[in-house]
Structure 1
Amino acid sequence: MNKIYSLNHSPIDFHFSQNPRDFIVREVPLYHFSNEGEHHILNVRKKGLNTIEMINIFSSILGIKSSEIGYSGLKDKNAMTSQYISINKKFTQNLDSILPLLEEKNIKILSCTYHNNKLKIGHLKGNNFFIRLKKVTPSVFEKINSVLKIIEKNGLPNYFGYQRFGKDGENFLEGQKIVRGELKIKNKRMSDFLISSYQSFLFNQWLNFRVKISKIFQAFEPQEILQALCMDNIFSEYRQTNIQNLKTLDIAKIKSIKNQPSLFKLFEGDIMHHYPYGKVFELETQNDISRFFDRNITPTGLLSGKKVLNATKVAGEIETCFIDKSIHATGTRRFAWIWIENLKYNYIQENAWLELEFFLPKGSYATTLIEEIAHRNVKID
């Protein structure tokens, strides 16, 4: 995908290496644990392992099925990450005895508590990140500093990161074959993961298109916007062939959309979400546009599947172009736009390092922020 970034600066040159020294992730749980109950909650730090690999190591050492172990989210392999897992306490009576075996595998238990419920996917508030950028000259730092201030104020598109699509970036093709009956994989967890990669690909395609349309509204005058929307070549790189309602917007509606204060432009029928928690609902009033700018609500994109609320009207017509109805997995809505929180950064000029600390909500990728700053695909060692 030729990713479209929300800002307009030229590419910024710096070095980003995703490794345990320069990329640290700390999971923030959704709620406080009760310190009682049948589930042992472990705060686990790992290096050089993804979450599934870490779960499998616990499974092997404890002699239990991996499905007995609960977790809230997937964490990067090429990083130092800490996250919470849950194991029924009947399986952890000899936990102290396996600590050396875990440490041999680059796994360390940082703390323990208890809770009444098993952890499930999505049971996290978000993640705190530490990232070190290198080869940052003083002039480059000034550029990054300016961009960060804009992002901190306006937010950024919530693309799925490259990690979602595998080493070669083509996991979604396998997922597409599975949902179309062209490929069968016996391992259900792997099959579900590949299907989710395909859902993520469709979401990214939709979001890329919406960012592109938003930038057209941002950059041009109403009559020019109307002309641009009638040009078929703005649709050519996407899956859709025609979006009639978008092409037939009148000048008054175009002016209204253009005057929206946010970089991401909302359309009639968009599905919004209370931010960061709450329910989804359809965009209805002019007041909703102000609430989006004030960070109280955010637009959502579709992860194709069953039992999910779809957009309607203009937004729905666009969304339909990025749906694969052969996906029978459960669908959901995902934040299309997010805001960085608790941003702090420290420029170490003698080392040409810029160290960033920040929080992002669950499901968001720190590398997407890095690419928005760089305005290019970041090079990963």
Structure 2
Amino acid sequence: MREYFLNHSPISFRFAQNSKDFIVSEIPLYSWSGEGEHLILHIRKKNQTTWEMVNSIAKVLNIDSRNIGYGGLKDKHGLTIQYISIPRKLENRLSEIEKLPNIKILATHYHKNKIKIGHLKGNSFFIRLKKVSPMSAKKIAEVLKTIQEVGIPNFFGYQRFGIDGENHKIGKEILEGKRYIRDRKKRKFFLNSYQSYLFNLWLSERIRFNKMVDEFSTSELAKALQTLGISIQNIEVLKSQPHHFKLLEGDFMLHYPHGKGFYLKLEELDEVVERFQRRDIVPSGLLFGNRVKHAVGESWDNFEKRYIEHGNLADGGRRFAWIFPTDIEWRYREESFWFELRFTLPKGSYATSLIEEIAKRDIR
């Protein structure tokens, strides 16, 4: 179970990830060049995953699905507006794509390169919550004001773990050699789910630690950390940090919203904390695997080393541990008891995690 960083009580509402109440629109990383050998399709889809859409288009065009580029994988549920690329020479066959159910081409562009996974700036969302009482609407608005001010933990959403929430277990079995999946794409998908599961465990542990730092006195905290086997050099410095996410010596920081990373050194803590407050940089968490930098020092010894796995690994990476949603707007429709909100997240972040932070409960 994930940890919530805010202290409000759970808020009651109904959330349904359908094409009317959950809409996501991709924000491309760059402008299209207007020339080149690739045709960019701005597509609206529903009731199918990105993979399912790509396979359907590949089949109708009689091409290998690997010739179709996309920047991000979108869920089956909800209405998705995203970009894909196909070879420009197929432009005269767009009418065949438009015959496919639940797919609509909104616009086309030319570009020099094929779209690759990760070629996204972020995603904008529209979400409608239902059965929201006036009192709950006030609570939701207060939570959103806090999120506007301080951001949220960057948990992987429940979609990452499959319909039954068990995909990470399959990934663990693959890693341990207890299961073999021939399809390379599916094998990587399950391994990534296990990476995500361990990341969420680590992030929950750090949030529990952060809340303890805020809520305990210095002497209480010293005793609690000793009991937990956590060794921190300077507890007073730790408690002086204003943000909900307390930084530790050895944390691997990333420039936000994109850029290179660096290790937090104790002598640079004040400056780094200030830059975190300014949203210039954020702490990162480990996606275990090959060719990835681990945390060091206090961050590694007390937390990250517990979430390392070995075996037939996929490539690893670092993921923002904290993000700052932008363009947050909301409106309460009291006559319908609907609460409508809009916001933008960086690529790879989950709107459902933000909704769960508001609800302070599992929303599946």
Q: TM-score range by the shorter chain?
A: over 0.9
Q: 1:99 to 1:133 in 2, by over 3 A?
A: same
Residue among 204, 208, 211 paired with 1:212: 208
Q: Report if aligned partners of 1:302, 1:333 keep a CA contact under 8 Å in 2.
A: yes
Q: Which residue of 1 aligns with 2:91?
A: 93
Q: Which residue of 2 aligns with 1:306?
A: 290
Question: Match of 1:132, as an amino acid?
Answer: R
Q: 1:334 to 1:72 in 2, by over 3 A?
A: same
Rounded to whole Å, the distance in 2 between the matches of 1:17 and 1:131 is 9
Question: Match of 1:195, as an amino acid?
Answer: L
SS of the residue corresponding to residue 223 of structure 1 reads helix
* Aligned length in residues: 360
Rounded to whole Å, the distance in 2 between the matches of 1:308 and 1:55 is 30
Question: Match of 1:249, as an amino acid?
Answer: I
Q: Which residue of 2 aligns with 1:290?
A: 274
**Mapping for residues 3-42 of structure 1, pairs under 5 Å:** 3-42=2-41
Question: Match of 2:263, as an amino acid?
Answer: E
Displacement of 1:223: 1.0
SS of the residue corresponding to residue 249 of structure 2 reads coil
Deviations 1:145-169 (A, max 9, x none): 1111111101110000000000110
Question: Match of 1:375, as an amino acid?
Answer: K
Q: Report if aligned partners of 2:60, 2:97 keep a CA contact under 8 Å in 1.
A: no
Q: Report if aligned partners of 2:232, 2:298 keep a CA contact under 8 Å in 1.
A: no
Q: Detail structure 1 runs of 4+ shifted over 6 Å in the superposition.
A: none
Displacement of 1:344: 0.6
SS of the residue corresponding to residue 25 of structure 1 reads strand
Q: Which residue of 1 aligns with 2:247?
A: 266
Q: Report if aligned partners of 1:304, 1:327 keep a CA contact under 8 Å in 2.
A: no
Q: Which residue of 1 aligns with 2:72?
A: 73
SS of the residue corresponding to residue 136 of structure 1 reads coil
Displacement of 1:186: 1.2
Question: Match of 2:340, as an amino acid?
Answer: E
Q: Which residue of 1 aligns with 2:192?
A: 196
Rounded to whole Å, the distance in 1 between the matches of 2:356 and 2:300 is 28
Displacement of 1:327: 4.6
Displacement of 1:99: 3.9
Q: Report if aligned partners of 1:11, 1:374 keep a CA contact under 8 Å in 2.
A: yes
Counterpart check, 1:367 vs 2:352: yes
Q: Which residue of 2 aligns with 1:351?
A: 336
SS of the residue corresponding to residue 231 of structure 1 reads helix
Q: Report if aligned partners of 1:4, 1:212 keep a CA contact under 8 Å in 2.
A: yes
Rounded to whole Å, the distance in 2 between the matches of 1:289 and 1:249 is 17
**Percent same amino acid among aligned pairs?**
50
Rounded to whole Å, the distance in 1 between the matches of 2:236 and 2:93 is 63
Q: TM-score, normalised by structure 2?
A: 0.97
Q: Which residue of 2 aligns with 1:276?
A: 257
**Mapping for residues 52-63 of structure 1, pairs under 5 Å:** 52-63=51-62
Q: Report if aligned partners of 2:123, 2:344 keep a CA contact under 8 Å in 1.
A: yes
Q: TM-score, normalised by structure 1?
A: 0.93
Deviations 1:258-298 (A, max 9, x none): 11111001100000111001111111312011100111100
Q: Report if aligned partners of 1:271, 1:281 keep a CA contact under 8 Å in 2.
A: yes
Question: Match of 2:5, as an amino acid?
Answer: S
Displacement of 1:69: 0.8
Q: Give unmatched runs, 5+ long, in structure 2.
A: none
Deviations 1:247-268 (A, max 9, x none): x324xx1111111111001100
Q: Report if aligned partners of 1:275, 1:298 keep a CA contact under 8 Å in 2.
A: yes
Q: Report if aligned partners of 1:341, 1:359 keep a CA contact under 8 Å in 2.
A: yes
